């Protein structure tokens, strides 16, 4: 005799999961205060700025609310005990005089005395020789994301990769780098509702995006042999305006993706800070997220260790490069064209200009006089 027992036949199931995350506004009871130090000294010949501010209470205050710390005495001392004083230029900004010249191999310590009598100091941070990438390339790829309605979407784009440290002796310790990479989307679009037989409204503009959601640093590697890193990802450049969050009329044309690549060679203190920053930034709500990570920098309060000081006094060397990222979708290729590295405002553009119906590449004003694009447009 055969017994077939407990066979479960599921004949109906209705399961509805949707929108399973919500903004959470916890009640926070805290009188905690913290000084924020944001400072960077590089190997470049430019005035260096230290920004001092105070953290704002969570969750209601906006970080845009100015909590600048002014009136502080800020100095930097190198390992040869040469001390330079920053100038308070207001709004929490302190600038080193132009006479200050950093030097590769030298070490610098930041000293801050605030008006409440507290003294903050970093350790000596060493300026390391700059590293440059060996090669850079882009791969045609796709990337997935969730929209606010938990719809799963994807976009194509350029996966930008670099090779590093080929010239570094294989017996040396691998350098530590972080990459600040942004893309300026240069676009034009027209308003078809104003279309006439000869002209219509024309717009052009640009917007800059950081293409890394986390701090991009070299891996804590076990790669071998030697120090070479192949195909390190420095970010993904989406092709298509919707991926950048623009609400554009249909007739929008992306002209150029201008990629600016900043490679900082950092010391161990900075590396640990950015690694810690990633631990915090990586908490994006995934089920296997690490537990919360506190982020401390290299500043300490000398006279009162219980005082909280956050941020980083970073001393690192930098190399910069810029490219136009272009795609050949039909063959699935991404091409990088090297361009001059120029500073571009974060966002800008020209609107309500007239573009003749011949679709010339240059807009014109109401008198049909050509309005040139910015000098860096497609440089």
Partner 1 sequence: MPLNYLIICILVKKTLLSFLSLFFFLASQPAFFPISAKQKEVSTRDTTRLVSFSTLAPIIERNNHIKLYYEPEWFENKRFRESIAELPLEECLIIVKRLTELNCVALNPVSYVFTPVEVRNYSNKKDSKGKLIIGDENDFGNATKATLSGKIIDAKNGKPLFGARIDIDKINVTASTDRDGNYKFTIPVGEYDIRLNYGGFEENNKTIKVGGNGIVDFELAEKSILLKEVVVIDKAANLNLIRTQMSSIRLNAKTIKELPMFLGEKDIIKSVTLLPGVQSTGEFGTGFFVRGGSADQNLILVEDVPLFNSSHMFGLTSAVNPDGVNSVNFLKAGIPAKYGERASSVMDIRLASNPDTLSFKGGIGLLDSRLNLEVPLFNKKVTLLVGGRTSYSDWLLHLLPDASLKNSSADFYDLNALLTVRFNPQNSLILFGYFSDDKFAFSKSSPYHYDNTLASVRYSHVFNDKLYSSLLVGMSRYRNDLIDMDPVRPDDAYKINSSINYNNAKLNFTWQPNEKHAVDFGLNAIQYLLQPGKLTPVTTTSNINPLSTNPEKALEMSAYISDNITFTPKISGEFGLRLTNYAYLGPGSVFVFNQNAPHTSENIMDTLSYGNNQVIKWYTSLEPRLSMRYSIDNLSSLKFSYNRISQFINLITNTAVMSPTDVYKMSSPNVKPLVCNQFALGYFRNFSQNAVEASVEVYYKKLDNILEYRDGASIVVNNSLETDLLNASGYNYGIEFYVKKNTGRLTGWASYTYSRSMRHTTSSYALDQINGNNYYASPFDKPHNFVVMGNYHLTRRWWVSGTFSYNTGKPVTLPELKYNYDGREYVYYSDRNKYRLPDFHRLDIAITHDETLRLKQKWKGSWTFSILNVYAQKNPYSVFYKSTSQLESKFYQTFNMYQMFIIEKPIPTLTYNFTF
Q: Is the distance from CB of 178 to CB of 234 less than 8 angstroms? A: no
User: Is 26 among the residues that bind partner 1 (CB under 8 A)?
Assistant: yes
- Spatial separation of the C-alpha atoms in residues 5 and 365, rounded to whole Å: 83
Site for partner 1 in 278-297 (CB under 8 A): 279-281, 283-295
Exactly one of 119, 136, 228, 254 binds partner 1 (CB under 8 A); which one? 228
Q: Say if residues 162 and 156 touch (Cβ distance below 8 Å).
A: no
Smallest separation, CB 93 to partner 1 (Å): 14
Q: How far is CA 366 from CA 92, 192, 203, 371, in A?
A: 44, 17, 13, 10
Shortest reach from residue 67's CB to partner 1, in Å: 9
- Is 99 strand, coil or helix? coil
- List the one residue from 90, 225, 250, 372 that touches partner 1 (CB under 8 A): 225
User: Of 12, 45, 331, 369, which lies in the binding site for partner 1, with binding defined by CB under 8 A?
Assistant: 12
Measure Cα distances from 265 to 127, 131, 270, 350 in Å.
8, 6, 10, 37
- Closest CB to partner 1 among residues 140, 199: 140
The Cα–Cα gap between 326 and 240 comes to: 12
Strand order in the sheet with 34-41: 87-90, 93-95, 49-54, 34-41, 308-315
- 255 or 280, CB closer to partner 1? 280
- 210 near partner 1, rule: CB under 8 A: yes
Is residue 276 helix, strand or coil?
A: helix
CB-nearer residue toward partner 1: 10 or 367:
10
350 binds partner 1 (CB under 8 A): no
Stretch that binds partner 1, among 75-83, 106-114, 206-214, 335-343 (CB under 8 A): 206-214
Binder of partner 1 out of 193, 222, 358, 375 (CB under 8 A): 222
Task: Tell me the closest approach of the beta carbon of residue 13 to partner 1, in angstroms.
Answer: 6
Task: Scan for tokens 């908490």, then name that residue.
Answer: 283
The least distance separating partner 1 from the CB of residue 257, rounded to whole angstroms, comes to 12
Single residue of 47, 59, 129, 240 touching partner 1 by CB under 8 A: 59
Coil, strand, or helix at residue 376?
Answer: coil
Count of alpha carbons within 13 angstroms of residue 64, beta-carbon side = 0
CB of 226 to partner 1, least distance (A): 9
CB 246 → partner 1: shortest distance, Å?
A: 8
How far is 172 from 36, CA to CA, in rounded Å? 35
The H or E element that residue 182 is part of is strand 176-190
- Binding to partner 1, residues 132-171 (CB under 8 A): 139, 141, 144-148, 150, 152, 159, 161
> Which residues in the 100-139 window bind partner 1 by CB under 8 A?
139
What is the Cα Rg of the chain in Å? 26
At 138, which helix (H) or strand (E)?
strand 133-146
From candidates 74, 176, 259, 312, binder to partner 1 by CB under 8 A: 312
30, 99, 173, 193: which one contacts partner 1 (CB under 8 A)? 30
For partner 1, the closer CB: 304 or 360: 304
Q: Does 8 bind partner 1 (CB under 8 A)?
A: yes
* Binding residues with partner 1: total (CB under 8 A): 99
- 267 CB neighbour count, 10 Å cutoff: 20
- Which residues sit opposite 203 in a β-bridge? 189
Structure tokens, 239: 């092709």
Contact between 172 and partner 1 per CB under 8 A = no
Stretch that binds partner 1, among 126-134, 193-201, 277-285, 315-323 (CB under 8 A): 277-285
Among 223, 251, 328, 342, binds partner 1 (CB under 8 A): 223
């Amino acid at each position: 005799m055969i017994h077939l027992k407990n066979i479960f036949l599921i004949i109906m199931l209705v399961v509805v999961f949707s929108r399973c995350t919500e903004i959470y506004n916890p009640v926070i009871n805290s009188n905690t205060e913290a000084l924020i130090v944001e400072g960077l000294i590089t190997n470049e010949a430019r005035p260096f700025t230290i920004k001092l501010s105070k953290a704002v209470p969570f969750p209601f205050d906006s970080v845009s609310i100015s909590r600048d710390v002014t009136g502080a005495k800020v100095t930097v001392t190198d390992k040869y005990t040469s001390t330079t004083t920053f100038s308070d230029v207001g709004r929490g900004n302190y600038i080193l005089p132009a006479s200050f010249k950093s030097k590769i191999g030298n070490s610098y310590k930041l000293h801050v005395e605030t008006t409440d009598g507290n003294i903050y100091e970093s350790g000596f941070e060493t300026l390391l020789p700059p590293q440059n990438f060996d090669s850079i390339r882009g791969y045609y790829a796709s990337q997935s994301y969730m929209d606010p309605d938990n719809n799963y979407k994807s976009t194509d784009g350029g996966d930008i990769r670099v090779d590093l440290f080929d010239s570094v002796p294989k017996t040396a310790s691998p350098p530590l780098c972080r990459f600040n990479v942004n893309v300026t989307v240069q676009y034009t679009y027209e308003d078809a509702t104003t279309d006439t037989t000869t002209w219509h409204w024309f717009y052009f503009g640009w917007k800059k995006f950081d293409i890394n959601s986390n701090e991009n640093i070299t891996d804590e590697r076990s790669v071998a042999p030697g120090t070479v890193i192949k195909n390190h990802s420095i970010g993904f450049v989406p092709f298509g305006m919707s991926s950048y969050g623009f609400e554009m009329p249909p007739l929008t044309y992306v002209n150029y993706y201008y990629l600016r690549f900043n490679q900082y060679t950092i010391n161990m203190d900075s590396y640990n800070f950015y690694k810690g920053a990633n631990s915090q930034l990586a908490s994006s709500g995934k089920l296997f997220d690490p537990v919360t990570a506190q982020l401390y920098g290299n500043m300490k309060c000398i006279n009162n260790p219980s005082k909280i000081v956050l941020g980083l006094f970073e001393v690192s060397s930098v190399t910069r490069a810029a490219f136009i990222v272009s795609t050949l979708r039909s063959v699935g290729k991404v091409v990088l064209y090297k361009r001059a590295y120029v500073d571009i405002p974060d966002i800008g553009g020209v609107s309500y200009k007239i573009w003749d119906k011949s679709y010339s590449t240059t807009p014109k004003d109401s008198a049909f006089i050509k309005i040139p694009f910015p000098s860096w447009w497609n440089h």
